[in-house]
Structure formats: C-alpha cells, structure tokens
C-alpha cells in the first residue's frame, strides 16, 4: 500500500494494522526517515512533489519489491509540505516470514524511492533557502540492485 | 501538450505549468529542451545545464532521447531528493 | 539500551523515546520478530533464557554494533515466557544520520543475537511440544559479518 | 563450581542447577562433559551428542577446549534459538 500525505504517520499504528487478524508474519522491518537538523542550519524543510506521478512511481516501486522479495505486506507513506527538524518524512514497512526478505525489501524500497519518487526538498535556514542536491551515493545504492539476481528469497 | 516544471526548474522558469504546441521538427525531449531555451532568458537560465534536468512523459521517467510524439504531459525537474 | 522482559513492547513508543528531545537523527530502522503460526501447528511458544548471561550477551552485541556503525541510538528488547501466534518476540531499533548505517546495524544486531543470545524456543502444538532447532543459515548470517571490514560507515 | 542446564539438556538431565566438585583430572569443558556422562543414564542421555551442546563459563560462550580452572558457573545448552 502507498500513501502520499501532508499529515504525520504513526509507526506503531501502521505495524498494528499490518499485523491485524493474521499470525503468519515472522518479521516486520520499518524505516523512518526524519528531518535532520545539521547544527541549527535547518529551520524548516519543504517537500514539493509531483501529484499523480508520485503515487504512480511509488506504486511501481512497491510492485517491483513484491516481485523480488517474498513479502506478506508492504507500506510506503511519504509526506509533503513544510516540516520541522525531527519531523517524520517517510515510512517504509515490510513484513515477511523471515527477516532476510523483510530487511532486503525495506532497503530496496528506500533505495529506489530515493532516486525515483518525484519529491524535492528545500531547506530554509538562517542563510536563506536552498534546494537539497541529489547525492551520487543514492544513485549508486539504486544501481547496486540491478546487479543482483532478482530471484525471490525464502 | 501540457508542460510541468518543478523545484528550481520551476523557480528559474518562473512558471509551474503551461500548454505548448512545439513545431514539427521537435521530436525528442532533448529537442524540446532546445526549443524551450529559445523562448526567453528565464527558460535559457532554467535549462542552462540541460544534462542535469530530468524529464517525465505522462508521469514516467524518460531519457532525453525519448520521443515526445503522443505525449499529453511532459515534466521537467532536478534530480529527485525525497525519502 | 537493552531490556529482557516478560511484557510486550510498543514499537511506536520506543521510536518516540529514541527521537525525544533531539533532531540530529535522520534514519530509524526497527525490526520486530513475531511468533509465526505455521498453518495452525503452533498453539503457543515458550521462550526460556539464561538470566544474567542474556543481559550480558545482549550488551556485548550492542557494544559491538556501536563500535562498527555510526549509531546515534540503539535498542534491543527481547521477551521471554509463553507467547501466542502473532505476539511480539524481539525488537531491535537503530538510529543514525543516514539510512545505510541504521539498516546495517539493525541487521547485524539481529544476526548476532540469533546465534549468541541464550534463548531457546519451545513450540507447543496439537502434536505435543518440541524444541525449535537452530538453523544453519543463522550461523551463516553471523559469519558473514566477520568477513566484512569493521570500519565505521558515515 | 555451579552447573546450569537449559532447554532440552535440562529436560534430559532432569535437573536445572547443581553444585559439583569434579576430580583433578577434569581440566576442560570437554573433560567435564565426559565426567558428567559417567554420573548416570540421564546425563549420558543429555550429553550423548556432545558435539551439539554449547557451553558458557561465567556467562560467556566458550568452546569445548576451554579450561575450566577458576570457573564459578558453567552452563550447558543446545544451540540458541532466540530472536
């Protein structure tokens, strides 16, 4: 499932929703990305996105993860709008029978959405606003997956 | 076709969305960028470093050599920085 | 921090505690292990442990993770006693500036505690009780870490 | 020294903890296991597959060739299955 929203999310509630009315899950991994204040340099961060394409791209990334890994459930929640240091930005959750698939899929989802989902961060600090630049290592992290076999893991 | 601009491409171009009808010779994303650059100093500025600009046709990422024939919506933006 | 307890844990509350009064964290990864019912074969699971050594071993595993990865916070909570399908067993949480260290450290903690922490699972099912056998792939997962460089990641 | 048994080692031996004073020739974990096996059929049964049994001295994992001199607490158990 994917959600693009202005509102905050509650990791505990999302896990409870994934686990509800089933007992075949053995492992749940969550990744929470938050606004990081670098020594007071960030007063606020505004996330712009491309409505329509964002949802489509996140759905494609999630479908790719479900094809690659033996997942029982997956969730991507991404916020947009103006956030403050410490605020949540993104949540990825994966559930599987075994921990390997849950860990790998969560990392895959994060690596892919970092380079595919159409969001742009603008930091507002004491010295003005600046658009955050993409990092080469995020591209490298995504590229790593195309070298690995796409076989389903147990 | 409808053009969309995001983040600093939008700020530099001074516009978020517009309808355009490029001439017949404009067949690819790269050629569309070249055509846009000739429309005024804001666009020349926004697309000055064309190689860093990313494009999407009908909400899918495409490369600059992608054909634009049949596109309803083309978007231009910097490399994404979500997550 | 480590905790060994009979009571359940609340992942959302643990994340909130990790984030409280700081805004330098960029990434939080959690792993939740749960009792998995295999087609109705497990009515209950009892976790026995070695009080004293359990705490000592988990503390050693956590110290090793902090030495290997650039962590801002870490937490291991492991339950003991009788649990039912769907119940939580273990929680690992890691916080870092960047996602790579948080993901790697969470996986390291799980791999290590799987082969080091003195817990034993007994499954009670319709056909009686049986002690769960250790899996060779857990040993392999732990061994993997001794081949990798121990350098701190950014 | 104090001996502790866990999981199926405890069930087979029929005891959870005891104080023992092994004779002087018993210097390693392996030798302690051999000595324990001679104490009765329950222990012979519990330690029949000695190679799969894990040991800890004073709450740290050790191999079977570890010396037991000075140990206050020695524990025997199957491979761990937590997490």
pLDDT in 10s for each residue of chain B, 83 residues: 999 999 999 999 999 999 999 999 999 999 999 999 999 999 999 999 999 999 999 999 999 999 999 999 999 999 999 99
**Over the range A112-150, which residues count as b (16 or more CB within 10 Å of their CB) and which as e?**
bbbbbbbbbbbbeeeeeeebbebeeebeebbeebeeeee
8 Å CB contact of A118 and B77: yes
Q: Which two tokens stand for residue A153?
A: 């893991």
Surface of C (2-41) touching D: CB under 8 A:
33
Whose structure tokens read 């295999």? Answer: C38
8 Å CB contact of A33 and C99: yes
**Mean pLDDT by groups of 10 residues along chain C of 154 residues:** 98 96 94 89 92 98 97 98 96 97 98 97 89 91 78 49
Question: Which residue does chain A place closest to C43, by CA atoms?
Answer: A23
Ramachandran region, residue B65 (left: φ > 0; alpha: ψ -120 to 50; beta: rest): alpha
Q: Where are the beta strands (DSSP E) in chain B?
A: 2-5, 17-19, 54-57, 60-62, 73-77
Dist CA C80 CA C8 (whole Å): 10
- The answer to whether the CB of D1 falls within 8 A of the CB of D73 is yes
- Is the ipTM value over 0.85, yes or no? yes
- The answer to whether the CB of A71 falls within 8 A of the CB of A95 is yes
Q: In this model, does residue A154 exceed pLDDT 90?
A: no
Rounded to the nearest 10 degrees, how much is the dihedral formed by the CA atoms of D70, D75, D80, D83? -80
Q: Which two tokens stand for residue C9?
A: 């844990």
8 Å CB contact of A23 and C11: no
pTM to 2 decimal places: 0.93
| Chains near A (3 or more Cβ pairs under 8 Å) | B, C
Looking at CA atoms only, how far is residue B82 from chain A in angstroms?
Answer: 5
Surface of B (14-53) touching A: CB under 8 A:
none
CB pairs under 8 A between A and C: 105
What CA–CA distances, in Å, run from C148 to A14, C34, C141, C142?
34, 29, 12, 11
Chain B contact set for A49 (CB, 8 A):
82
Comparing C-alpha atoms, which of A117, A11, A96 is closest to residue A54? Answer: A117
Surface of C (116-145) touching D: CB under 8 A:
116-122, 131-134, 138
The answer, for A66 touching chain C at a CB cutoff of 8 Å, is no
């Amino acid at each position: 499932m994917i959600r693009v929203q202005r509102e905050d999310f509650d990791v505990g509630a999302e896990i409870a929703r994934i686990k509800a009315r089933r007992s075949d899950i053995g492992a749940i991994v969550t990744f929470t990305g938050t606004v990081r204040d670098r020594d007071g340099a960030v007063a606020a961060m505004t996330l712009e996105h491309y409505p329509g394409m964002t949802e489509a791209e996140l759905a494609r990334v999630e479908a790719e993860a479900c094809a690659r890994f033996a997942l029982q459930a997956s969730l991507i929640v991404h916020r947009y709008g103006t956030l403050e240091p410490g605020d949540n930005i993104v949540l990825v959750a994966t559930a599987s029978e075994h921990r390997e698939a849950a860990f790998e899929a969560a990392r895959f989802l994060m690596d892919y959405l970092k380079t595919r989902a159409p969001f742009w961060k603008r930091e507002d600090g004491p010295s003005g606003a600046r658009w955050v630049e993409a990092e080469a290592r995020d591209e490298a992290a995504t590229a790593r997956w195309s070298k690995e076999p796409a076989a389903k893991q147990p | 076709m409808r053009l969309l601009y995001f983040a600093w491409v939008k700020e530099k171009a001074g516009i978020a969305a517009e309808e355009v009808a490029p001439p017949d010779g404009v067949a690819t994303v790269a050629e569309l960028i070249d055509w846009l650059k000739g429309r005024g100093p804001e666009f020349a500025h926004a697309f000055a470093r064309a190689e860093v600009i990313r494009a999407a046709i009908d909400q899918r990422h495409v490369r600059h050599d992608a054909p634009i024939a049949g596109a309803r919506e083309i978007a231009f933006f910097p490399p994404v920085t979500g997550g």
